[in-house]
A and B are shown apart, each in its own frame.
Chain A
């Protein structure tokens, strides 16, 4: 069975500090991978998606970047956090564009 794991579960960071959030999928090769962001009380927005290693497409510009260094790993990062980066970050995977993405448990980020 496929499993998706996100880390950390929660993070409190200072404005201007760097950030790195991780996501790993086990049990499936060459998955489509996605990053989503949800501001507190806000709408879930797709940030990035990746169909293959080394290839990432940006959907929404939020001064964040994503990378896929390995087939089963998706990293979300920034060198300088903004207050507006606070929220809930979700990683998801799917077999293809037709399958419903399956989500991880998320990372709650508070930027102070």
Chain B
């Protein structure tokens, strides 16, 4: 079964500084990875989907996938206080989606 782990558990950055979040997974055969964020136990907002090794950019959000290293990351350019939320890594494996425990991001003005 796919295991998804995120780090760090929490991250505080200043407004405008790059925020980098990490996600590792156990099954490298997956080819379907997403980053979501969740504001205060509300519905999830999809940020970026990535299906092949390399980089995928969606606005200020960039995902990097390296399946050989079982690693996918999310970089947030010029984060704002409104970006403060829990960020979740999701890996699709055999028609199931496995989530990490999330990274709590706080962006200070």
Contacts and interface: CB of A to CB of B under 8 A. Distances in A.
Contacts of B44: 44, 90, 92, 103
A49 B102 CA distance: 22
Interface of A is mostly: strand
Contact of A97 (B41, B90, B92): B92
B99 A88 contact: no
A2 interface: no
Interface in B23-70: 32, 34, 36, 41-46, 49, 51
A101 B101 CA distance: 18
A100 B43 contact: no
Contacts of A44: 44, 88, 99
B49 A100 contact: yes
Contacts of A43: 99-102
A88 B46 CA distance: 18
Contact of A102 (B32, B46, B88): B46
B41 A108 contact: yes
Contacts of B102: 43
B99 A105 contact: no
A33 B34 CA distance: 17
Nearest to B45: A103
B97 A46 contact: yes
5 contacts: A43-B100, A92-B44, A98-B51, A103-B45, A106-B42
A-B pairs, top 10 by smallest CB distance, nearest first, are: A103-B43, A44-B99, A103-B44, A100-B46, A105-B43, A100-B34, A100-B49, A43-B101, A104-B43, A106-B43
